Structure 1
Amino acid sequence: MVVRRIMSLRILLILSSLLLTSVSLSAEEFAVATFTRGKVSFLSSTDSSKLWKTLKVNDILKPGDRIKTGNGSKVDFLYQETEIRIQPNTDFTLKEWNSDKKIAKAYVQNGAAWFRVNDFKKGSFEVSTQTTTAGVRGTAFGVFYEEKEKKGYTCVCEGLVNINGTEFSKGTGGAVKLGASELEKNDYKGLITKEGATIQFQEKRKGNPMLSRCLPCHKPVGWEDTSFTPDETYGKK
């Protein structure tokens, strides 16, 4: 009896060790949720029940996983030095992820997501909406799709981003309306400083409502807006 108990205990310890190793390897291979606010739901590609579940800190984002955030909700993912920040009222899907070949593809069905890409210089990191495709190797940029306007936007925060075949630099961006082929070019240079969003930003936003998506990370300077929830994690990683 004693021998059997010892053997059973050893088997249990081995299985526990293998499980912990598997989780550790997965955490190194994929992006991990580091912060959540409000209710964030996800549909796992590996869950045969196909039921939406609540996403928690330390959950892993795998290829095929779909994320939905509600009003005031958000989630941050981190893979080495690459960040993925999914903003409120967003429907996001990770289409492809290969950490060995440094290839990633994501899709924003609706809403907004922000990316800082630092680990894909020998591969590619691509984010699409219904109308736009942004491809980068190492930079920071935001991708948005506004359902009311039926329009996809990409803005460049750092480096260079290829949007639908055209290269854009920091402080610029491109947009395409559903059903159109022409790429609308936008210039945001000087509208956001280290202190935050300027009064000139406020004026620009009147004709470009998408810019409101920038306010959680760039607080208004010299003017006020209470329609957004500040991103308490921006600039802290």
Structure 2
Amino acid sequence: MVVRRIMSLRIFLTLFSILLTSVSLSAEEFAVATFTRGKVSFLAATDSSKLWKTLKVNDVLKPGDRIKTGNGSKVDFFYKETEIRIQPNTDFTLKEWDSDKKIAKAYVEKGAAWFRVSNFKKGSFEASTPTTTAGVRGTAFGVFYEEKEKTGYTCVCEGLVNVNGTEFAKGSGGAMKVGATEISKNDYKELITEDGATLKFKEKRKDNPMLSRCLPCHKPVGWEDNSFTPDETYGKK
């Protein structure tokens, strides 16, 4: 009886050790949720029941997984020095992720996501919308898709980003509407500074509502807007 209990204990400890190793490897191979606000829904690619679940801190983001955030909700994922920040009212899917080959592809069906990319090959980290594909040549950028406008946007915070074959530098970005043949170029340098969103930003937003997506990360300077919850984690590691 004692021998049987000892054997059972050994088997349990072995299985527990394997489980811990598996979790550890997942955390090293994939991006892990480090921050959530509000309710974030999560549909795992491996879940045969296709049931949406509530995403929690320390959950792992794997290829094929889909994330939905509601009004005021968001989630941050970290992988080494790479960050993925999914903003409110966003439908996001991780299409591909290979940490060995240093390749990743993300898809923003609607809403907004911000990326700071490291540990990936030049041009091998892509973030797409229904109308745009942004390939990283630099470090940090935002991707947006506005359903009402049927337009995808990319803004570059650091380095260079190639959007639909056109290269954009820090402080600039591109926009592509459904059915358009050429990408529109935008300049954000006077709209957003190191201090935040300027008065020029406020005026420009009247013609370009998409700019409101920037307010969680870039606080108004010289004017007020209380319609967006500040992103507590933006710019922090």
Shorter-chain TM-score: which interval?
Answer: over 0.9
1:10 aligns to what?
A: 10
Size of the alignment, in residue pairs? 237
**Residue 101 of structure 2 is aligned to residue 101 of structure 1:** yes
1:232 aligns to what?
A: 232
Amino acid at match of 1:223: W
SS at match of 2:96: strand
1:164 aligns to what?
A: 164
1:16-42 deviations in whole A, cap 9, x for unaligned?
000000000000000000000000001
Runs of 4+ in 1 over 2 A off after TM superposition: none
1:168-211 deviations in whole A, cap 9, x for unaligned?
00000000111112111101113222221111111121211111
In 1, Cα distance between equivalents of 2:162 and 2:156: 10
Q: Report the TM-score when normalising by structure 2.
A: 0.98
SS at match of 1:131: coil
In 1, Cα distance between equivalents of 2:166 and 2:123: 19
Q: Is the 8 A contact 1:101 1:123 kept in 2?
A: no
RMSD, aligned α-carbons: 0.9
In 1, Cα distance between equivalents of 2:123 and 2:7: 47
1:196 aligns to what?
A: 196
Question: Identity percentage over the alignment?
Answer: 86
1:124 aligns to what?
A: 124
Deviation at 1:13, TM superposition (A): 0.4
Matches within 5 A, 1:1-237: 1-121=1-121, 124-237=124-237
Q: Is the 8 A contact 1:81 1:117 kept in 2?
A: yes
In 2, Cα distance between equivalents of 1:181 and 1:225: 35
List alignment gaps of at least 5 residues for structure 1. Answer: none
SS at match of 2:17: helix
List alignment gaps of at least 5 residues for structure 2. Answer: none
SS at match of 1:100: coil
Amino acid at match of 2:55: L
In 2, Cα distance between equivalents of 1:123 and 1:164: 12
Deviation at 1:120, TM superposition (A): 0.9
Deviation at 1:236, TM superposition (A): 1.6
